[in-house]
Amino acid sequence: MPKMKHPLRLTRLSDAFVPLALAICALFLEPSISLRLFVGCFAVSALSLFSCFGIRAAFAMQPSMRSVRGTVKCALLLQIAGGLIAALIGVLFLKGERDALPLIAAGLLLNIEHMFYEYLYAAGDRRSAMLTHSLTAAFLIAGMSLAKGPEGSHDLWKLVAMAGISAIVSAVIGCAIGDGLKGRLNAQVIRCAPRAALQCALYPAVALLILWAMKSTACAFPFFAGWTLCALCRTPFRRSTLEAVPLNRALLIALAASAAIWAVLTFIPGLMTDIDASRLPGSLLAQLPTACVLVAAAAACSFALYGNMKKNKDE
The answer to whether the CB of 135 falls within 8 A of the CB of 163 is no
Q: How far is 134 from 17, CA to CA, in rounded Å?
A: 6
Helix residue ranges per DSSP H, the chain:
17-28, 31-47, 51-60, 65-93, 100-122, 126-147, 156-177, 188-191, 193-214, 220-233, 241-267, 271-274, 284-306
Q: How many C-alpha atoms does 285 have within 13 Å on its Cβ side? A: 13
Looking at residue 272, its pLDDT comes to 55
Q: How far is 219 from 26, CA to CA, in rounded Å?
A: 9
Q: How far is 59 from 89, CA to CA, in rounded Å?
A: 31
Which residues neighbour 98 within 8 Å (Cβ) at sequence distance 6 or greater? none
Looking at residue 45, its pLDDT comes to 94
Name residue 154's beta-bridge partners.
148
pLDDT in tens, the chain (315 residues): 344 444 445 678 889 999 999 999 988 888 888 999 999 999 999 999 999 898 998 888 887 888 888 889 999 999 999 999 999 998 888 776 778 899 999 999 999 999 999 999 988 888 999 999 999 999 999 999 888 776 666 788 889 999 999 999 999 998 888 777 777 888 889 999 999 999 999 999 999 999 898 887 778 899 999 999 999 988 888 777 777 778 888 888 988 998 888 888 777 755 555 454 445 554 677 788 889 999 999 999 998 888 777 765 544
Triad 53, 123, 246: Cα angle to 5°: 60
Output 212-218 pairs: Cβ under 8 A, ≥24 positions apart.
214/290, 214/293, 216/290, 218/31, 218/283, 218/286, 218/287, 218/290
Looking at residue 239, its pLDDT comes to 76
pTM of the model: 0.87
The answer to whether the CB of 242 falls within 8 A of the CB of 312 is yes
Looking at residue 206, its pLDDT comes to 94
